[in-house]
Amino acid sequence: MKFQTIRGVHDGLPAVVARWQQVERVARTIFHSHSFDEVRLPILEQTALFTRSVGEATDIVAKEMYRFVDRGGDDLCLRPEGTAGAVRAFIQGGLGRAGEQRWFYVGPMFRRERPQKGRLRQFQQIGVERFGAAGPVADIEMLTMAWSLVAELGIQQVRLELNSLGCPSCRPGYRDALVAFLQQCEGDLCATCRDRMATNPMRVLDCKVASCQQALTDAPEMLHHLCGDCDTHFGAIQRGLDIPVTINPRIVRGLDYYNRTAFEIVTDQLGAQGTVIAGGRYDGLVQELGGAATPAIGFALGLERIGLLLSDPPATRAEVAVVALGEGALIPSLRAAEQLRAAGLRTIHCGGGGGKRQFKQADRCGARFTIILGEDEVAQGTWTVRNMGEGSQQQCDPASAMAQLVQHFATTRTSKE
**Judged by CB under 6 A, does residue 83 bind ligand ATP?**
no
Nearer to ligand ATP, 27 or 373 (CB): 27
Nearer to ligand ATP, 108 or 132 (CB): 108
Q: Are 123 and 304 in contact (CB under 8 A)?
A: yes
How many whole angstroms separate alpha carbon 132 and alpha carbon 286?
10
**Judged by CB under 6 A, does residue 301 bind ligand ATP?**
yes
How many whole angstroms separate alpha carbon 249 and alpha carbon 384?
69
Beta strand ranges found along 48-121 (DSSP E): 66-69, 75-78, 101-110
| Smallest separation, CB 300 to ligand ATP (Å) | 4
**Judged by CB under 6 A, does residue 298 bind ligand ATP?**
no
How many whole angstroms separate alpha carbon 176 and alpha carbon 158?
34
Q: Assign 171 to helix, strand or coil.
A: helix
Which distant-in-sequence residues (6+ apart) come within 8 Å of 222 by Cβ?
Answer: 163, 164, 165, 166, 171, 174, 202, 249
**Which of 52, 79, 171, 305 contacts ligand ATP by CB under 6 A?**
305
Helix intervals (H) in 133-270: 136-152, 171-184, 191-199, 210-215, 228-240
| Smallest separation, CB 277 to ligand ATP (Å) | 6
Q: Are 278 and 263 in contact (CB under 8 A)?
A: yes
**Judged by CB under 6 A, does residue 123 bind ligand ATP?**
yes
| Smallest separation, CB 220 to ligand ATP (Å) | 22
Nearer to ligand ATP, 201 or 280 (CB): 280
Nearer to ligand ATP, 81 or 319 (CB): 81
User: Judged by CB under 6 A, which stretch of 117-125, 134-142, 323-331, 343-351 contacts ligand ATP?
Assistant: 117-125
**Which of 302, 307, 352, 398 contacts ligand ATP by CB under 6 A?**
302
User: Judged by CB under 6 A, which stretch of 87-95, 112-120, 176-184, 346-354 contacts ligand ATP?
Assistant: 112-120
What is the DSSP pairing of strand 122-131 with strand 158-164? Answer: unpaired
Nearer to ligand ATP, 113 or 195 (CB): 113
Nearer to ligand ATP, 307 or 398 (CB): 307
Nearer to ligand ATP, 104 or 123 (CB): 123
User: Phi, psi (5° rounding) for residue 270?
Assistant: -120, 25
Please report, as residue ranges, which positions from 259 to 288 form the binding site for ligand ATP (by CB under 6 A). 273, 275-278
**Which of 102, 111, 171, 349 contacts ligand ATP by CB under 6 A?**
111
Which distant-in-sequence residues (6+ apart) come within 8 Å of 62 by Cβ?
Answer: 56
**Judged by CB under 6 A, does residue 19 bind ligand ATP?**
no
**Judged by CB under 6 A, does residue 256 bind ligand ATP?**
no
Contact letters (x/-) for ligand ATP, 124-143, by CB under 6 A?
-x------------------
Q: How many residues bind ligand ATP (CB under 6 A)?
A: 19
Characterise 239 by phi-psi region: left (phi > 0), alpha (psi -120 to 50), beta (else): alpha
The helix or strand, by DSSP H or E, that contains position 302, with its residue range, turns out to be strand 296-302
User: Judged by CB under 6 A, which stretch of 299-307, 325-333, 345-353, 390-398 contacts ligand ATP?
Assistant: 299-307
**Judged by CB under 6 A, does residue 304 bind ligand ATP?**
yes
The helix or strand, by DSSP H or E, that contains position 276, with its residue range, turns out to be strand 275-281
Report the side by side order of strands in the sheet with 75-78.
44-46, 75-78, 66-69
Q: Which residues bind ligand ATP (CB under 6 A)?
A: 81, 111, 113, 118-120, 123, 125, 254, 273, 275-278, 300-302, 304-305
